[in-house]
Amino acid sequence: MKKTTIELENMEFYAFHGHYEEEQVVGNRFRVDLSFDVDGERAALTDELETTVSYLDVYQCVREQMEIPSHLLEHVSRRIAETLRERFPAISSLRLKVSKMAPPLGGPVEKVSVSTEWQNR
């Protein structure tokens, strides 16, 4: 196996995640960073999209999950990771970070983030 890491960095979404009711009404900006490992040998040899995981399809999967309101970033993160694992069995491991930009904490904070890692056993 030739491990290849594919990264989707700084994906931005406007979504309605948050514990407080106003967060689910007004919404906020979120950033998602994702990297995942696949066996990239066939793709490197054949130059054919069918031999790897399409990052367009992965992006669309993340977007779908970001559109579903949740109270906690941990829940959003788990949903994204589980959906990716289900739809793309060729992914052997992934690292995911979901960040809420400018969270309403009563003072200036750039972002709050939840990170998740998963490895296929």
Contacts 24+ apart (CB under 8 A), 81-90: 81/116, 81/118, 84/34, 84/36, 84/58, 85/118, 85/120, 87/57, 87/61, 88/36, 88/53, 88/57, 88/58, 88/61, 90/38, 90/39, 90/52, 90/53
User: Which amino acid is located at 24 in the chain?
Assistant: Q
- Of 2, 97, 100, 111, the active-site residue reads 100
111 is catalytic: no
What is the C-alpha to C-alpha distance for residues 86 and 116, in angstroms, rounded to an integer?
16
The residues annotated as belonging to the active site are 100
